[in-house]
Amino acid sequence: MTIQWFPGHMTRARRQIQDKLKLIDVVIELLDARIPLSSRNPMIDEILQNKPRLVLLNKHDLADPEVTSQWVAYFAEQGLQALPVDAATGNQMKEIMARCKQLMADKIEKQLSKGVNPRAIRALIVGIPNVGKSTLINRLANRKIAATGDKPGVTKAQQWIKVGTEMELLDTPGILWPKFEDQQVGMRLAATGAIKEEILYPEEVALFAVRYLASHYGTSLQERFGIARLPEDPGDTDAIIEVMEAIGRKRGALLSGGRVDLEKASLTILRELRAGKMGRVSLESPSDIPDPASVTEER
């Protein structure tokens, strides 16, 4: 799903989520495990305020497990529990329920001490488009929930979906916008497929991806495309373009006259990356976060 976000849509999306917050106990914030910060809404803390929250690092099957562990530690430092999951295969569904229950433990305890039988925990899934919200709802519900008009500005009656006996889920997730004004964020979103190519040039996105792969996953890149040597300096754009051209030749992405069709080569690289053909790859790690001190100095 691609949504064109305008300020009016953002305001409406935010208002819709805030209206739903009144109905729910726990927010399940879905992020892409390969790019947790880039797939995050920049105003999330403000929007969710102090609602108990569980962060899910989805598509963990495609992400580098070592980097995902670093992200779990990163979120723990911010006081947030983060759980790596694969909504597509449905692993960890029981753990999601257990964690939500844990987040509500105090409230449940209080109700029990007053002799009140705690009602099912009510949860809302929020996240940017394509992060896996519908897939997760279907997994938790254990059936296919009809895709609804979950577009910003489109309202409909809310339905609760039973997840076991102890949890209920709102059938319509909250859709949030990413921080696309940051160019690096845009590249990461595009490289993982959260933003479609029509918006950005595939050559530019593939250049970003190959540069990142060359500096973090060089061996996987070499093995996948049979590249003998990678540039010593991944910052050298011409050298990275040469790698892309070598990949294009390997994959037969050629124009008449034998020149490499760089657009076709780029689309191939991105397709294979998104399908996990280069192994489990993360495109963002906590060490990529700029040091706030150095950002201030640049101003």
Please say whether the dihedral angle defined by the alpha carbons of residues 89, 127, 270 and 279, taken in this order, is positive or negative: negative
Q: Which residue carries 């069709």 as its tokens?
A: 261
- The residue from 16, 39, 130, 268 that contacts ligand G4P (CB under 6 A) is 130
d(C-alpha 210, C-alpha 37), whole Å: 20
Annotated binding site for GTP, which residues?
A: 58-61, 130-135, 174
Of 124-132, 155-163, 201-209, 241-249, the segment contacting ligand G4P by CB under 6 A is 124-132
* Smaller CB separation from ligand G4P, 169 or 214: 169
Choose the binding region for ligand G4P from 57-65, 110-118, 224-232, 239-247 (rule: CB under 6 A).
Answer: 57-65
CA torsion 180-181-183-187 (nearest 10°) is 10
Among 83, 87, 195, 240, binds ligand G4P (CB under 6 A): 87
| CB proximity list for 158: less than 8 A, separation 6 or greater | 20, 23, 170, 171, 172
Tell me, letter by letter, the H, E, C secondary structure of 163-212.
ECCCEEEECCCEECCCCCCCHHHHHHHHHHCCCCCCCCCHHHHHHHHHHH
Q: Interface with ligand G4P by CB under 6 A: which range of 107-115, 127-135, 219-227, 285-293? A: 127-135
> Is residue 127 close enough to count as binding ligand G4P by CB under 6 A?
yes
CB 147, min distance to ligand G4P, A: 8
Based on the shown chain and the rule CB under 6 A, indicate whether residue 88 belongs to the binding site for ligand G4P. yes
- Is 171 a binding residue for ligand G4P by CB under 6 A? The answer is no
Q: Does 61 bind ligand G4P (CB under 6 A)?
A: yes
Given 20, 34, 53, 59, the residue binding ligand G4P (CB under 6 A):
59
Name the minimum Å distance from CB 32 to ligand G4P: 9
Altogether, the residues listed in the chain come to a count of 299
Question: Does residue 275 bind ligand G4P (CB under 6 A)?
Answer: no
- Distant-in-sequence, close-in-space partners of 27: CB < 8 Å, separation ≥ 6: 21, 48, 51, 52, 53, 54, 123, 124, 126
**126 pairs with which residues across the strands?**
29, 174
Instruction: Tell me how crowded residue 252 is: count the other CB atoms within 10 A of its CB.
Output: 11
Q: Which is nearer to ligand G4P, 82 or 260 (CB)?
A: 82
Interface with ligand G4P (CB under 6 A), residue from 108, 131, 247, 283: 131
Token duo for residue 42:
């920049």
Least separation in angstroms between residue 33's CB and ligand G4P is: 8
Coil/strand/helix, residue 18? helix
- Which residue from 39, 41, 92, 135 is in contact with ligand G4P, where contact means CB under 6 A? 135
Q: Please report, as ranges, the residues that interact with ligand G4P according to CB under 6 A.
A: 1, 58-59, 61-62, 86-88, 127, 129-135, 193
